[in-house]
Structure 1
Amino acid sequence: MGAYNRNTDGLDLVHKFAGQVKDRNFLVTGPTPGGLGAETAISLAAESPAIIILVGRSQAKAQQTIDAINGVSPSTKVKFVEAELSSLKSVRAAAQTILDDGEVSKIDVVINNAAVMASPQMKTEDGLDYQLAINHLSHFVLTNKILPKILAAGPGARIVSVSSSGHRFTGIRFNDPNFNEPDSYKEFAGYGQAKTANILYAVELNKRLASRGIHAYAPTPGSVATNLQTYLVALGDKATEVLDEAAYKVHGISIAETRAREPAKTLQQGSASLIRAAIDPDLVKEEGIFIDDANLTTDPEVIKSWATDPKLAEKLWGLSEELVGEKFDI
């Protein structure tokens, strides 16, 4: 039994590991007010980081989060970098903005949090599956591009890719990642593939960076009521059918039974797994890469083997490079 549980609050972990926050530089994607990215960034501000970089769609939308961070820690410099994650051109421009910023000499922790869930089938301007592009490929490009600044932070730096129990819906569709086959797309097949990709990306990053003291983790926040549910709400009457199919594949029970067994967490409880992944220095002494209820786990009932297989991680890296049209020598 781990030291933490589903009731652990992120802020408690920030205070516990205050020395891993103060005067360090953090980057968080998806800072929309009322979401996990915002909650995580505001919680981290409680122990006075030097810089928090927020990467999001519009500064106006993120202003409430920026103001909240300033209110908690006036000494923390907040930098907003605009990026439309469905556009690789926009992501690359954001990465260049960060690389060109002389005030940001290093980035100690990257938290790739921005996500979409269960969207209808769509393609990005790059011809990529919408969920795979936003949840994985955009972060793959952003993180790999800004790696010089992560490497500058040295041993102890972290790369956190937020995943989900939804990864248990399906692994990577290596032969058809963009769902070009007729009738192959399902809302949670797209989400499950993308959330599996988040974990496999962390597996491969560890293989490539752990010798330099830089580690990657893939936490799941659990079920938290945020705007991530936007597309499910839009499904209307069809939502229960879609959710039931997902719940049976992921949990083996209906969505109603799932909700009864695992009530929704608060934003603070949801942020705990992200924050532990980001700042607990002792994580490296434990086995695993997937963090659930703020505890590392290798339980095959919790994390599927298709999300941790090193060969699949290497294969996904190659596929990701192919899909984004760029190779990364890391």
Structure 2
Amino acid sequence: MSSYDGQTKASDLVRELAPHIHGKTILITGASSGLGATYVETVIKSPRPPARIILTVRDQSKGQAQVKKWSYINSDVNLQVISLDLARFKSVREAAKRVNELEFAIDVLVNNAGVMAIPYEKTEDGNEMQFQANHLGHFLFTNLILNKVLESKSGGRIINVSSDGYRLGHVRYSDHDFHNGKSYDKWMAYGQSKTAQLLFSEELARRYGSKGLQAFAVHPGVNMGTSLSRHVNEKEAETFFGSLTAIDQLQGHPQAWAGLKPVSPDQGVATQVLLSFSQDFKDYNGDYFEGCQPLPKDEVYPWALGERESRKCWALSEKLVGERF
């Protein structure tokens, strides 16, 4: 096993992995801010950068502003912006259509965008917002452009940015919208959406691993101050870890959130960068990673692991997006 850990920096990895980054085509969701922006800026600074990066963003102006900034850093990388609102299936289908019209394959797809701990809200498609923005939108988008990823000559990669917070909630197969909001808990809903991303990764590997696809779920570490936490108000921020510890204790989880220390953005994207380009993790296809290491399966909560659960989550996701894959 590699010597990488939670202190590993992506800025170091892009030098080490430069031969495998060179010439690649990367597509990343939620790239205009937060860890998505950090990932892009770090990768384009590699001594041997990718050929192109496709940025999907909700706000075109923010995306174009980032492109202008990054073009000054490395003008050799082709940067393209595509509008994508994961909370609207119509937008997802339109974005996927644009991707499928491109004349090149996608080597690495990073499903990075997401929201966290927001008040109860339903999307125009009728789903609880966190479940759609974090999981269902990515599920639909990924499947619609999957052939582009499978066309990669180097073997396509899909990196699903999940969270250690998956343990806060299992997939509620018979009540995914929390009784239409009546029993809604924002942290349990966040956990449900992140559990789904673990199961999605496992099922992608099971279905398409024989075609060369590698899929991984990733915990990026604790990164306060990113746009992900924009719905956590100041009062909550003061007791952020305490409130999550209380939920863990309520559910009987032993480790809780006590003692977790925030990591830098450079460290926060290291696992994503490592799994995007390293050649060392083929035997861990479909697994969940924390701190640049696969979490042992006996440490993964049972609701986020196994063929039975991954198949059930896939079937529910197909039902909610209205399409079978």
The answer to whether the Cα contact below 8 Å between 2:203 and 2:286 also exists between their aligned partners in 1 is no
Q: Establish whether residue 278 from structure 1 lines up as the match of residue 279 from structure 2.
A: no
Task: Please name the residue that 2:90 is paired with.
Answer: 89
Cα shift readout 1:292-316 (whole Å, capped 9, x = no counterpart): 0111122533x21211211110111
Alignment of 1:222-301 (within 5 A): 222-225=221-224, 226-233=226-233, 236=236, 240=240, 242-248=243-249, 249=251, 252=254, 258=258, 261-286=259-284, 289-301=287-299
Task: Please name the residue that 2:197 is paired with.
Answer: 198
Cα shift readout 1:251-285 (whole Å, capped 9, x = no counterpart): 64665xx2xx2221000000011111211111113
The answer to whether the Cα contact below 8 Å between 1:277 and 1:291 also exists between their aligned partners in 2 is no
SS in 2 for 1:23: coil
Corresponding letter in the other structure for 1:317: W
- Compute the TM-score of the two structures, normalised by the length of structure 1: 0.91
SS in 2 for 1:110: strand
Cα shift readout 1:71-107 (whole Å, capped 9, x = no counterpart): 33211100000011110000110110111133xx100
Q: Establish whether residue 326 from structure 1 lines up as the match of residue 323 from structure 2.
A: yes
Corresponding letter in the other structure for 1:206: A
Q: Establish whether residue 9 from structure 1 lines up as the match of residue 6 from structure 2.
A: no
Task: State the shift of 1:156 in Å.
Answer: 2.2
Q: Establish whether residue 28 from structure 1 lines up as the match of residue 28 from structure 2.
A: yes
Cα shift readout 1:210-244 (whole Å, capped 9, x = no counterpart): 10111100010010121111111277599657434
Cα shift readout 1:13-56 (whole Å, capped 9, x = no counterpart): 121111221111000111133x1111111111123111100011
Q: CA, structure 1 residues 128+234, in 2 after alignment: closer, same or farther (shift >3 Å)?
A: farther
The answer to whether the Cα contact below 8 Å between 2:202 and 2:286 also exists between their aligned partners in 1 is no
Task: Please name the residue that 1:56 is paired with.
Answer: 57
Q: CA, structure 1 residues 88+181, in 2 after alignment: closer, same or farther (shift >3 Å)?
A: closer
Distance 1:95 1:89 in 2: 10
Q: Which runs of 5+ in 2 are unaligned?
A: none
Q: In terms of mean alpha carbon deviation, does 285-294 or 261-270 score higher?
A: 285-294
Identity over aligned pairs, percent: 34
Task: Please name the residue that 1:128 is paired with.
Answer: 127
Distance 1:187 1:243 in 2: 11
Q: CA, structure 1 residues 51+130, in 2 after alignment: closer, same or farther (shift >3 Å)?
A: same
Q: CA, structure 1 residues 25+91, in 2 after alignment: closer, same or farther (shift >3 Å)?
A: same
Cα shift readout 1:173-212 (whole Å, capped 9, x = no counterpart): 0011122256321011110000000010000000111101
- Compute the TM-score of the two structures, normalised by the length of structure 2: 0.92
SS in 2 for 1:185: coil
Corresponding letter in the other structure for 2:66: T
Task: State the shift of 1:8 in Å.
Answer: 0.5
Q: CA, structure 1 residues 298+254, in 2 after alignment: closer, same or farther (shift >3 Å)?
A: closer
Q: CA, structure 1 residues 213+315, in 2 after alignment: closer, same or farther (shift >3 Å)?
A: same
Q: CA, structure 1 residues 190+215, in 2 after alignment: closer, same or farther (shift >3 Å)?
A: same
SS in 1 for 2:123: coil
Corresponding letter in the other structure for 2:265: L
Task: State the shift of 1:63 in Å.
Answer: 3.3
Q: In terms of mean alpha carbon deviation, does 75-84 or 243-252 score higher?
A: 243-252
Cα shift readout 1:101-142 (whole Å, capped 9, x = no counterpart): 33xx10000000001011111100000010000000111111
Q: Which runs of 5+ in 1 are unaligned?
A: none
The answer to whether the Cα contact below 8 Å between 1:232 and 1:239 also exists between their aligned partners in 2 is no
Task: Please name the residue that 2:75 is paired with.
Answer: 74
The answer to whether the Cα contact below 8 Å between 1:57 and 1:82 also exists between their aligned partners in 2 is yes
Distance 1:289 1:167 in 2: 14
- RMSD of aligned alpha carbons: 2.1
Corresponding letter in the other structure for 1:122: E
Q: CA, structure 1 residues 288+318, in 2 after alignment: closer, same or farther (shift >3 Å)?
A: closer
The answer to whether the Cα contact below 8 Å between 1:169 and 1:250 also exists between their aligned partners in 2 is no
Task: Please name the residue that 1:109 is paired with.
Answer: 108
Please, which of 273, 286, 306 is the counterpart of residue 309 of structure 1? 306
Corresponding letter in the other structure for 1:219: V
Q: CA, structure 1 residues 53+164, in 2 after alignment: closer, same or farther (shift >3 Å)?
A: same
